Amino acid sequence: MTSWITFMPWTVIRDVSDRVNLPIDLVGAVVRQESFGDHFAARYESHYRYTVDTARFAKLNRISEKTELEHQKTSWGLLQIMGGTARDIGYKGALVGLTVPEVGLYWGAKFLKRLVDKYDHLDDAIAAYNAGSPRKDANGKYVNQYYVDSVRKWMSDLQ
């Protein structure tokens, strides 16, 4: 058994995978790639532009608009879902709540499920989860081919 597997929060991953109807090896592999199983993982991405109604969510969560904007530009939790993406798919709570394993994993998996349902090929969904869409270069490789290959490797470790 590969050593990284023993450090993953499998009970939560299994529960959420079942809840959103995704294969556990896919969810586990993306968790491995995104956070290495660290549910407190957070990463600010200043270039991120897809924010959602920051004034409304700031008021709802009793924080400043600037804080809400910065939180929407941050990836959170086990699946490193972007705050803006979580807002877009219906998450209304404080974005730091996405570091709670069951919460962040659910919203990240819900988004991943949307991508799996949207694209005909799993690799397209994996690429889109990381880069927003499954963009390819002139040679037919994903612009984030390393990410796709890594997730596929982690999946094969789990099978």
Per-residue pLDDT reduced to its tens digit, 143-154: 999 999 999 999
pLDDT single digits (tens) 24-36: 999 999 999 999 9
DSSP-assigned states of every residue in 42-71: EEE-TT------HHHHHHHHTS-HHHHHHH
Q: Is pLDDT of 99 > 80?
A: yes
> What is the arithmetic mean of pLDDT over 49-66?
96
Give the torsion sign (CA, 75, 79, 85, 90): negative
The C-alpha atoms of residue 83 and residue 114 are separated, in whole angstroms, by 16
The C-alpha atoms of residue 78 and residue 151 are separated, in whole angstroms, by 14
Q: Whole-number mean pLDDT of the chain?
A: 94
Is there a contact between 134 and 119 (Cβ–Cβ < 8 Å)? Answer: yes
Q: Is pLDDT of 1 > 60?
A: no
The domain made up of 3-158 has a fold known as: Lysozyme (1.10.530)
Kindly indicate the confidence band of residue 141, based on its pLDDT and cuts at 50, 70 and 90: very high
Give the other-Cβ count within 10 Å of 9's Cβ. 18
CA distances from 145 to 40, 53, 65, 139 (A): 26, 32, 36, 11
pLDDT single digits (tens) 69-92: 999 999 999 999 999 999 999 999
Helix (H, G, I), strand (E, B) or coil at 19: helix
Is there a contact between 37 and 130 (Cβ–Cβ < 8 Å)? Answer: no
Q: Is pLDDT of 2 > 70?
A: no
Is there a contact between 116 and 27 (Cβ–Cβ < 8 Å)? Answer: no
